[in-house]
Amino acid sequence: MAMQEKKTSRRTFLNALWVGVGALSLAEIGFLISRFLKPREQRFAENTADAVIAAGSVDAFDPGSVTAFVRGKFYLARLDNGGFLALSRTCTHLGCTVPWVDDEKRFVCPCHASAFSINGEVLAPPAPRALDLFDIRIENGQVLVDTGKRTKRVGFEAAQAVYPGRA
**pLDDT tens for residues 150-167?**
999 999 999 999 999 865
10 Å CB burial of residue 122 (0-12, 13-18, 19+) is buried
Q: Which residues contact residue 61 at a Cβ distance below 8 angstroms, ignoring those fewer than 6 apart?
A: 55, 67, 76, 78, 84, 143
Of 126, 123, 124, 119, residue with least CA distance to 153: 119
Domain boundaries, the chain: 10-39, 52-160
The mean pLDDT value of the chain amounts to: 89
Q: Which residues contact residue 94 at a Cβ distance below 8 angstroms, ignoring those fewer than 6 apart?
A: 39, 40, 111, 112
DSSP letter string, 66-132: EEEETTTTEEEEE-TTS-EEEEESB-TTT--B--EETTTTEEE-TTT--EE-TT--EEETT--SPPP
Position 47 scores a pLDDT of 46
Note the pLDDT tens digit of each residue in 76-103: 999 999 999 999 999 999 999 999 999 9
Supply the pTM of this predicted model.
0.70
Note the pLDDT tens digit of each residue in 10-61: 899 999 999 999 999 999 999 988 888 887 665 544 444 468 999 999 999 9
CB atoms within 10 A of CB 93: 20
Region 52-160: CATH code: 2.102.10.10
The one-letter amino acid at 128: P
